Copies of this chain bind each other. A is one copy, B any other.
Amino acid sequence: MEQVKAILFDVFGTVVDWRGSIIREVSAVGEKLGISGNWGRFADRWRDGYYTGTQDVVNGKREWVSADTLHLERLEILKPEFGLDGLNEEETIQLNKAWHRLDPWPDSVQGLTRLKQKYIIGSLSNGNIGLLVNMAKHAGLPWDIVLSGENFRSYKPDASVYLGAVETLGLKPHEVMIAAAHITDLQNAKKNGLSTAFIVRPDEFADGEYKPDLEADENVDVNASDLLNLAEQLRA
């Protein structure tokens, strides 16, 4: 681990609590409209649309489009199902930008701030660059560099995203560490020669239908309980 020079973070789930934040935003909208709903399920369905869209790009089923566009497409589908038809275009776009206003986990800002003293720290997210920049301003995430699938017109887990990030930084694969709460992300990073850190986020999916990864893959280089613990283990 002595050779690691940059740590790139998965963002949704690893650095920010996307699900809790989306529930908070849509609950407020629902309250204004005078409706209630299973907003946890709404958040999961919204996330599904984003995930499916990114994988369609990776699999060559469609041209690259931004996460903002994928979010908006799925939101339009979900509106009637969840009683949100009352939202006009401006309000819909405003709700779509909830993904720009996700809140960090309690340890994220302090952990990143410590890691930044020793390493280049950045995002490596499927969220688009504009979304990630707005989120960093909202949440106080002190990135040195915002990297996104958008830089490479692809999405994780495509190898071009991991290796493109390495090349962009002018580093060797093992000098770049991917930190993520999702084992598949780390497996794909490792397959491309990058270093890896698992950050357990037991609350990512709360009481929803999805389950978090609770244990590190045996090939992961560092196994951390949160970002402060990652900083601790890396002596940052």
Binding site for B on A (CB under 8 A): 68, 120, 122, 128-131, 133-134, 136-137, 143-146, 150-151, 168-171
Contacts and interface: CB of A to CB of B under 8 A. Distances in A.
Nearest to A130: B170
A195 B122 CA distance: 28
Nearest to A168: B129
17 contacts: A68-B170, A120-B134, A128-B168, A128-B170, A129-B145, A130-B168, A130-B170, A130-B171, A131-B170, A133-B144, A133-B145, A133-B169, A136-B144, A137-B144, A143-B144, A144-B146, A145-B146
B145 A120 contact: no
A236 to B, nearest CB: 14
Given A68-B170, A168-B150, A170-B68, A120 B144 contact: no
A145 B137 CA distance: 10
Given A130-B169, A168-B130, A120 B137 contact: yes
A68 to B, nearest CB: 7
A127 to B, nearest CB: 12
Nearest to A97: B170
A137 B5 CA distance: 12
Contacts of A150: 168
A112 to B, nearest CB: 14
A99 to B, nearest CB: 12
B120 A133 contact: yes
A144 B150 CA distance: 17
Q: Quick one: which of A120, A131, A144 has the most chain B CB within 10 A? A: A144
A175 to B, nearest CB: 12
A46 to B, nearest CB: 19
Contacts of A120: 133-134, 137
A68 B133 CA distance: 26
A129 B146 CA distance: 10
